[in-house]
Amino acid sequence: MIKVDHIYKTFGEKTVLDDVSCTFETGKVNLIIGQSGMGKTVLMKCTVGLFEVDKGAVYFDGRNFSEMNFKERKPIRQEIGMVFQGGALFDSLTVEQNVMFPLNMFTHMTQEEKLDRVNFCLQRVNLVNANKLFPSEISGGMKKRVAIARAISMNPKYLFCDEPNSGLDPKTSIVIDNLIMELTEEFGTTTVVNTHDMNSLTEMGEKIVFIYKGKNYWEGTFEELEMSDNPELIDFVYASKIMKRMRKH
Amino acid sequence: MLTKTWFEIGRYWKFMKGLFVKPEKFIVYYRQVMHELVSIGVGALGIVALTSVFMGAVITLQSAYNLVNPMVPLYAVGIVARDSIILEFSPTIIMLVLAGKIGSSIASEIGTMRVTEQIDALEIMGINSSGYLTLPKIVAGLLICPFVVIISIFLGIIGGWVAGDMSGIVPSADYIRGIQDQFLPFNIVFALIKTLVFAYIITSVSAYHGFHTDGGALEVGQSSTKAVVYSSIFILIFDYILTQLILA
């Protein structure tokens, strides 16, 4: 379980996170939802330590991550897999080399063992015959799948996905959502997904954290969300015509 | 302005401190150094060769033009050309050319990695991103640039010889006598000391600007420009300092 405990983050004069507390549960897909610019990505980056929090703390299974220095964080970092918005694949490396990268850096596996692991991960994300291609030669959906394969290559305990569906068509988005759900179930990871895609919310929202103006405005399950009468949450979730119609029915 | 300068200096030293920590895996860094040796050294040989030959040719012709005095023997052109090339033109001008070629390449490569979150991806894995991206480039620069400058010196002197002989201004025998006369091996040592300092400046300053890129494609371009401008300025400043310290 990941516990975010009263964190604050400001950039210059602008307060982006203002006393945010929430928990991300083990073995579940935890969604962070909210409008663009409300602090979702900052919350995720503060959680994984890409941004240092001004106040408060983040605990990974009881370990205070915020208080640790770079060296102390290393073991936890190796338990984290992260899928970035644009994939963040290394341009100069092939698909195979991208997935193999963490294995090269942190394991003492033989080349054959590493290749086996890479092929397993690529097959797991339904990506075959793409090993020798470069990121510039594959589609957006494939890039996301490679990024997921790289993120799971080290068997992470915690999986973070920053807007995994951005720029993808609805059908590919559902494929990615299903993949994240399957992996969470299969490996028992604590998965945190940052999204403003309502399809993702309905597809995989087990635990939901709604961020509004830098505050943790609402937290609950999908069922609780359906019953909620929180005006800002309703305004955000049912913003589109199709969602409004769904709500009526 | 002054605050910003101090901020940049402080951030540069903090960045440098981050480089010199134990690598995650030595073999990975070693492979990176090999890759950078090819990229920095072999990739720059064409422009270095072209610049050196013409630089040597121009220095010889200009020296001959300025030494029109019956009291000055013709072989003095060879001496002037050789010393100018060894002491100044090859280590400084060639490294300024390399600042443009290598510096912009390093800054834009690392800058693009920054804006496309590739550096964040390294950090998340627990890799010291500044060390992984920068240290192999610095090491490769320090290893390969002296060879590049030696090649440049050789080609510059050849260029001067060919130009002097072909134009008929400095006969071959005079030029060859000139380049051998009063030769001080220490000048080569001095040239190599300067080269090492300039190689460090180019790679570290460019990597620093690339690493601290913030924004998008526009900012990557700006970082690349800053890398070349600051590297060139520091090369000129340190050229003066080293000359004053070692030769004066």
Show the domain range for A62.
1-79+190-249
pLDDT for the residue numbered A173? 84
Whether residue A201 is contained in a domain is answered as: yes
Whether residue A184 is contained in a domain is answered as: no
Residue B120 distance to chain A (closest CA, Å)? 7
Least confident of A134-138, A169-173, B6-10, B198-202: A169-173
* Inter-chain CB proximity B126 and A50 less than 8 Å: no
pLDDT for the residue numbered B223? 96
* Distances, alpha carbon B156 to alpha carbons A100, B162, B176, B177, in Å: 45, 10, 13, 16
A68, with CB counted inside 10 A (0-12, 13-18, 19+), is middle
Instruction: State the best of B119, B125, B130 to mutate against chain A, taking most chain A CBs within 10 Å.
Output: B125
Nearest beta carbon to residue A84 from set B28, B117, B127: B117
> Chains A, B: CB contacts under 8 A, how many?
53
Q: Give me the phi and psi of A62, to 5 degrees please.
A: 85, -5
A42 touches chain B (CB under 8 A): no
pLDDT for the residue numbered B241? 96
Number of folded domains in chain A?
A: 1
A contacts of B39 (beta carbons < 8 Å):
none
DSSP string for residues in B51-73: HHHHHHHHHHHHHHHHT--TTS-
* Inter-chain CB proximity A77 and B125 less than 8 Å: yes
The ranges assigned to domains in chain B are 27-247
pLDDT for the residue numbered B131? 92
B contacts of A106 (beta carbons < 8 Å):
24-25, 125-126
More confident residue, A206 or B84: B84
| Stated length of chain B | 248
* Inter-chain CB proximity B125 and A90 less than 8 Å: no
A72 touches chain B (CB under 8 A): no
Binned at pLDDT 50, 70 and 90, residue B31 comes out as very high
Alpha-carbon gap, residue B224 to B115, rounded angstroms: 13
Of the candidates A151, A144, A131, the residue with the CA atom closest to the CA atom of residue A82 = A151
pLDDT for the residue numbered B228? 97
pLDDT for the residue numbered A200? 82
A85 touches chain B (CB under 8 A): yes
pLDDT for the residue numbered B224? 96
Nearest beta carbon to residue B127 from set A50, A89, A105: A105
Q: List, as ranges, residues 76-95 from B with C-beta within 8 Å of A.
A: none
pLDDT for the residue numbered A175? 84
pLDDT for the residue numbered B185? 93
- Percent of chain B exceeding pLDDT 70 equals 100
- In chain B, whose CA is at the least distance from the CA of A107? B25
pLDDT for the residue numbered A141? 86
Whether residue A139 is contained in a domain is answered as: no
Over residues B40-73, the pLDDT tens digits come to 988 899 999 999 999 999 999 999 998 878 888 8
pLDDT at B248 over 80: no
Whether residue A44 is contained in a domain is answered as: yes
A71, with CB counted inside 10 A (0-12, 13-18, 19+), is exposed
Nearest beta carbon to residue A77 from set B25, B112, B126: B126
B25 touches chain A (CB under 8 A): yes
Whether residue A100 is contained in a domain is answered as: no
Work out the number of other CB atoms within 10 angstroms of the CB of residue A84.
23
Whether pTM exceeds 0.90: no
**ipTM entry:** 0.87
B23 touches chain A (CB under 8 A): no
More confident residue, A202 or B219: B219
* Distances, alpha carbon B238 to alpha carbons B91, B193, B198, B200, B205, in Å: 12, 11, 8, 11, 14
Of the candidates B120, B124, B78, B98, the residue with the CA atom closest to the CA atom of residue B203 = B98
* Inter-chain CB proximity A105 and B121 less than 8 Å: no
Angle between helix B26-36 and helix B129-167 axes, rounded to 10 deg: 30
Q: What is the pLDDT along chain A (249 residues), one digit of tens a residue?
A: 899 999 999 998 899 999 999 999 999 999 999 888 888 899 999 999 999 999 999 999 999 999 998 888 988 998 999 999 888 999 999 999 999 999 999 999 999 999 999 999 999 888 888 999 999 999 888 998 999 999 999 989 999 999 888 878 888 888 888 889 988 998 899 999 998 888 888 878 789 998 888 888 888 888 888 788 888 888 887 777 777 777 666
pLDDT for the residue numbered B81? 94
Alpha-carbon gap, residue A70 to A195, rounded angstroms: 28
pLDDT for the residue numbered A146? 93
For residues B141-158, average pLDDT? 96
* CATH number of the domain encompassing residue A69: 3.40.50.300
pLDDT for the residue numbered A140? 87
Over residues B93-149, the pLDDT tens digits come to 999 999 999 999 999 999 999 999 999 999 999 899 999 999 999 999 999 999 999
* Inter-chain CB proximity A105 and B117 less than 8 Å: no
B contacts of A77 (beta carbons < 8 Å):
123-126
B123 touches chain A (CB under 8 A): yes
Whether residue A246 is contained in a domain is answered as: yes
